[in-house]
């Protein structure tokens, strides 16, 4: 048996940020040299970020990716590197060459014929540039994935490179998930070690699924497997990293941390072989670094609530950072949702970059106003009070004749919410700060929100978080503060009082909705598991309740379509995952 030292570059790529990504890849490659790595493995589409979506339809984007690949190849005394990128069809034998206008680029013999057709590839770079190219075989087209829109699947022999006498089979993400698929084919062709470049988005329970799959695939192929994953936020998606390596028995022998960049250095034993394209460089690994203490580090997994909290923090931080927002503002009502969003925002970008606004109406309780001030003090954020009573009176007077006496009932409740939204968006316009909305998944599911009111803003931090989970996350954040000796950020009174929008006297959420302990499991069945109403009723739920709630979900699609993006933490979030028509007459439970 031979040993190969791999450096798994768990990186935070920027979609379309070629210069930043080349710099990051170069940094990881240099770090790989410092730890004596034989090979550096990077995530899927690491050169351009994932998912690039319709940028792939722009010719200039493909040309920029080719230039970036050439820029990355110009390195000395560093290990060979496997880079995720795209290439035109017919990538076998692709070489680096200068273009006719003097710019360096990637060219193929049939470049002109295939300019609009690209494949998702993993490129092996050595001293001479591109040594080999592996094309993704299986293109996912479910959940958040839409790869058949952009890529052509790989065909023909798969790619094996030989590094220090080990035959390394190259795979891209989905290719490793199928039994008797590309991984098994590589093993049959002589690969003795498999490496997988991934851009696998976070969802609850995903790490356990990955590890179970890798265990199955390692046993099937009798090969150790190195799995590197992207980390960072991209629009609604957040990538958790948690890169890992398993031995041929499927046992996890190395695991990177969650939600942070890291170079995971692992040593894998594999059978020696002469199979594969030699991946040779002038770089020589320093044998003195062969037993560094950080090799095969095994990070302990986070528990589920901790993992979700970190996903929300990273998703929020990267959305603001990558889109150029320096500050965030939000309405703090003294309720549990705005309290959680404020805590996440502070953990994401720091207290000095977060500002709260309390906007009481005649119906706001004194306790809620005090809770908002206390929350701000504990988080050390500035809070400004902007009473909306005068604006409310003006709107009421203006609408008196049109609405025959003025707005009443639900109209008046929504009017208050929209006044607050106008103030928040005005402050956003004047300061350049992004408005963070505070609605949760339970409310969005049933339409318990005000269009152009509390739903108005730039980023919906807890859009995919059910109300019951909101409370769990608040308790987690308070417990975290206790462990490090800090004051609990979320006052106990916020967690103990009944949830209420406080838009009418004595209002409580349970006057309009069933208790969240009942509602959230029902919504999970209907929204995330696609159970029918009859299937839910068969589980013991009341027929009238199920009919009412499922109709509310169906009829609120027009609202959800107008909501801002937010962090995805479930396997079916509103937005990319669940694509329902707004105009929809299919209601079998009517």
Task: Return the active site residues.
Answer: 44, 136, 173
| Contacting residues for 10 by C-beta, under 8 A, at least 6 apart | 43, 228, 229, 230, 231, 241, 243, 256, 260, 261, 262, 263, 264
- Residue 511 tokens, joined: 């006057």
The structure tokens 């991934």 sit at 198
226 touches 196 (CB < 8 A): yes
272 strand-pairing partners: 166
Q: How far is CA 110 from the centre of its chain?
A: 36
Q: What is the DSSP letter of 222?
A: T
Q: Dihedral of CA 298/301/302/303: which sign?
A: negative
| Tally of residues, the chain | 590
Q: State the Cα–Cα distance between residues 467 and 443, nearest whole angstrom.
A: 8
- Residue 111 tokens, joined: 């470049």
| Contacting residues for 186 by C-beta, under 8 A, at least 6 apart | 158, 160, 169, 170, 171, 194, 221
- Residue 438 tokens, joined: 């505070």
SS3 at position 535:
helix
Which burial class, exposed, middle or buried, applies to 540 when counting CB atoms under 10 A from its CB (0-12, 13-18, 19+)? exposed
Task: Find the distance separating the first CA and the last CA of the chain, reported in whole Å.
Answer: 66
Q: State the Cα–Cα distance between residues 104 and 128, nearest whole angstrom.
A: 14
| Contacting residues for 557 by C-beta, under 8 A, at least 6 apart | 580, 581, 582, 584
510 touches 518 (CB < 8 A): no
160 touches 195 (CB < 8 A): no
Q: Greatest CA separation found in the chain?
A: 87
Phi, psi of 88 (to 5 degrees): -60, 160
Q: State the Cα–Cα distance between residues 473 and 307, nearest whole angstrom.
A: 10
Q: How many helices (H) and strands (E) does the chain have?
A: 16, 22
- Residue 385 tokens, joined: 């009070």
DSSP E strand boundaries for 213-363: 225-229, 231-234, 237-240, 244-246, 252-255, 262-270, 277-278, 328-331, 354-358
Q: State the Cα–Cα distance between residues 91 and 64, nearest whole angstrom.
A: 17
């Amino acid at each position: 048996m031979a040993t190969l030292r791999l450096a798994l570059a768990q990186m935070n790529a920027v979609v379309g940020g070629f210069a930043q990504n080349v710099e990051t890849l170069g940094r990881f490659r240099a770090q790989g040299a410092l730890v004596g790595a034989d090979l550096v493995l990077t995530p899927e589409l690491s050169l351009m970020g994932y998912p690039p979506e319709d940028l792939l339809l722009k010719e200039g984007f493909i040309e920029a990716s080719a230039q970036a690949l050439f820029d990355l190849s110009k390195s000395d005394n560093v290990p060979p590197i496997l880079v995720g990128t795209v290439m035109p069809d017919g990538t076998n034998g692709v070489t680096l060459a200068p273009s006719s206008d003097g710019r360096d680029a990637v060219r193929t013999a049939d470049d002109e014929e295939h300019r609009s057709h690209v494949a998702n590839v993993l490129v092996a770079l050595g001293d001479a540039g591109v040594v080999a190219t592996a094309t993704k075989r299986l293109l996912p087209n479910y959940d958040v994935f839409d790869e058949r829109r952009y890529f052509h699947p790989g065909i023909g022999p798969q790619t094996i490179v030989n590094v220090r006498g080990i035959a390394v089979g190259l795979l891209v993400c989905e290719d490793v998930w199928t039994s008797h698929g590309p991984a098994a084919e590589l093993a049959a062709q002589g690969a003795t070690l498999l490496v997988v470049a991934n851009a696998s988005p976070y969802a609850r329970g995903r790490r356990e699924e990955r590890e179970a799959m890798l265990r199955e695939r390692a046993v099937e192929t009798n090969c150790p497997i190195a799995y590197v994953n992207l980390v960072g936020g991209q629009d609604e998606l957040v990538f958790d990293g948690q890169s890992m390596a398993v031995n041929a028995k499927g046992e996890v022998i190395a695991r990177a941390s969650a939600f942070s960049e890291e170079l995971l250095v692992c040593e894998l034993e594999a059978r020696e072989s002469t199979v594969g394209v030699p991946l040779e460089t002038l770089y020589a690994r320093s044998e003195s670094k062969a037993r560094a203490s950080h090799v095969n580090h095994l990070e302990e997994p986070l528990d589920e609530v901790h993992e979700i909290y970190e996903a929300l923090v990273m998703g929020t931080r990267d959305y603001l950072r990558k889109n150029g927002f320096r500050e965030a503002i939000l309405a703090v009502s003294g309720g549990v949702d705005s309290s959680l969003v404020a805590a996440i925002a502070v953990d994401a970008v720091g207290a000095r970059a977060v500002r709260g606004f309390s906007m009481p109406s005649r119906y706001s309780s004194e306790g809620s106003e005090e809770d908002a001030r206390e929350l701000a003090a504990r988080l050390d954020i500035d809070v400004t009070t902007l009473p909306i009573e005068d604006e409310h009176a003006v709107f009421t007077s203006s609408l008196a004749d049109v609405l025959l006496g003025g707005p009443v009932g639900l109209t008046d409740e929504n009017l208050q919410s929209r006044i607050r939204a106008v103030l928040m968006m005005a402050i956003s316009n004047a300061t350049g700060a992004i408005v963070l909305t505070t609605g949760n998944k339970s409310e969005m599911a049933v339409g318990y929100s005000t269009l152009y009111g509390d739903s108005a803003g730039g980023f919906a931090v807890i859009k995919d978080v059910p109300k019951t989970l909101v409370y769990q996350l608040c308790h987690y954040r308070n417990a975290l503060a206790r462990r490090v000796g800090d004051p609990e950020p979320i006052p106990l009174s916020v967690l103990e009082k009944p949830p209420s929008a406080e838009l009418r006297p004595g209002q409580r959420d349970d006057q309009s909705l069933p208790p969240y302990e009942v509602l959230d499991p029902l919504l999970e069945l209907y929204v995330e598991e696609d159970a029918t109403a009859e299937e839910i009723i068969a589980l013991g739920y009341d027929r009238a309740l199920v009919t009412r709630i499922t109709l509310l979900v169906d009829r609120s699609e027009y609202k959800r379509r107008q909501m801002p993006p937010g962090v995805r933490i479930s396997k079916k979030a509103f937005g990319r995952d669940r694509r329902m028509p707004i105009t929809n007459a299919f209601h079998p439970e009517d």
